[in-house]
Structure 1
Amino acid sequence: MYSRATIAGHPVHPMLIAYPVAGYTGTLVGFAVYAANGQQFWLNFAIAMNIAGVGGALLAALPGFADWLLGIPKDSGAKGVGLAHAGLNVVALALFAITLGFYVGHWDGPPRGTALGLALASAGLVCTVSAGFLGWMLVQNYHIGVRLTHYQESDEPAVQNIRPLRIHHDKAA
């Protein structure tokens, strides 16, 4: 399974990633609609979604980093994929944080141009989607966060030496 941060045997990082993905997507949508109609509501929507996305990304990064640092074997190909996944997410976080810093002071106006917000949010979302592809590769190809059957574990000898950190103790384990 490799995941070190778990709740009742379920990895925490995949539970949290929906928040930054939704926040980042909402940020881009808000800027696009604001660019089209100029209504302050949509700039405020973009700012609020950006706050949610950046906060969610920071929260999701903690168990993700723990899984990468403490769970994935050093000699596994998953270590490099995980590092690239994290790197793209850090770039996305930085782009959305810059966007937030530029626009957050304009909650009540005055109107602000959308070119920078659209460009940074688009680039950040491309990084997020690319990181998501690598995250899925970690699940699909390297079985990160997947509870394997005993038969599958015998095909993956590295799994036998990894013990997940458990928040909920199973009596059968």
Structure 2
Amino acid sequence: MQSRLRVQGHPIQPMLVTFPLGLFVSAAVFDLIDVVGGPAFLGEVGYWTGIAALVAAALTAVAGMVDLWDVPGDRTRRTAVAFNLVNAVMAAMFLLTCLVRSHSPQRGASVAILVTELVALAVGGVGVHLGARLMRQFDTGRTEVGGLDALAGSTGEIARP
């Protein structure tokens, strides 16, 4: 199965997934610091980082839906659907926290918001596991060459300028 959205032979969605995940983790870290007594502006930084993560998650979801179109209707499709649903649940939980915070003038975090974000990150951990399983299913039978062997041509010689 080949992804429709590729850059130099590599599927785009696995690359895009790192952006919302990293931003969601960063938002939770900023909020943790805000809750434990750090500078108040870090709560607002956490809020805006969460907003950026939601935008990145939406773009990643679009790429995931395009890729889902070509997934065969077997175990791989079930894993792909579960992966996308789990990521959607994580994003929905962060969306909920952002909506709650949007009514606050300083958009600071509370303990309840932080707990919700930590639960969302745990859900995201399940998504990471499913994504790794999905990549193994897609790459079955495909071998990756790493290191200097990747520079070798079909004759086995290392390409020299």
TM-score by length of 2: 0.80
**Residue 100 of structure 1: which of 94, 98, 102 is its match?**
98
Residues 17 and 57 in structure 1, CA contact (< 8 A), matched pair in contact too = yes
Residues 44 and 108 in structure 2, CA contact (< 8 A), matched pair in contact too = no
Q: Given the alignment of the two structures, is residue 148 of structure 1 paired with residue 151 of structure 2, yes or no?
A: no
Q: Once the 2 structures are TM-superposed, how far is the Cα of residue 148 of structure 1 from its aligned partner?
A: 3.1
Report the counterpart of residue 34 of structure 1 in structure 2. Answer: 34
- Secondary structure in 1 aligned to 2:6? strand
**Consecutive unaligned residues in structure 1, runs of 5 or more:** 150-173
After TM superposition, where is structure 1 displaced by more than 6 Å over at least 4 residues in a row?
Answer: none
Structure 1 CA distance for aligned equivalents of residues 96 and 124 of structure 2: 15
- Secondary structure in 2 aligned to 1:148? coil
Q: Which amino acid aligns with 2:19?
A: Y
Q: Given the alignment of the two structures, is residue 78 of structure 1 paired with residue 73 of structure 2, yes or no?
A: no
**Residue 134 of structure 1: which of 118, 130, 137 is its match?**
130
Change (3 A) 1:113 1:125: closer
Q: Once the 2 structures are TM-superposed, how far is the Cα of residue 25 of structure 1 from its aligned partner?
A: 0.1
Q: Once the 2 structures are TM-superposed, how far is the Cα of residue 102 of structure 1 from its aligned partner?
A: 1.0
Q: Given the alignment of the two structures, is residue 115 of structure 1 paired with residue 114 of structure 2, yes or no?
A: no
- Count of residues in correspondence between the two structures: 143
CA RMSD of aligned residues (A): 2.0
- Secondary structure in 2 aligned to 1:66? helix
Residues 43 and 109 in structure 2, CA contact (< 8 A), matched pair in contact too = no
Q: Which amino acid aligns with 1:73?
A: P
TM-score by length of 1: 0.75
Q: Once the 2 structures are TM-superposed, how far is the Cα of residue 112 of structure 1 from its aligned partner?
A: 4.8
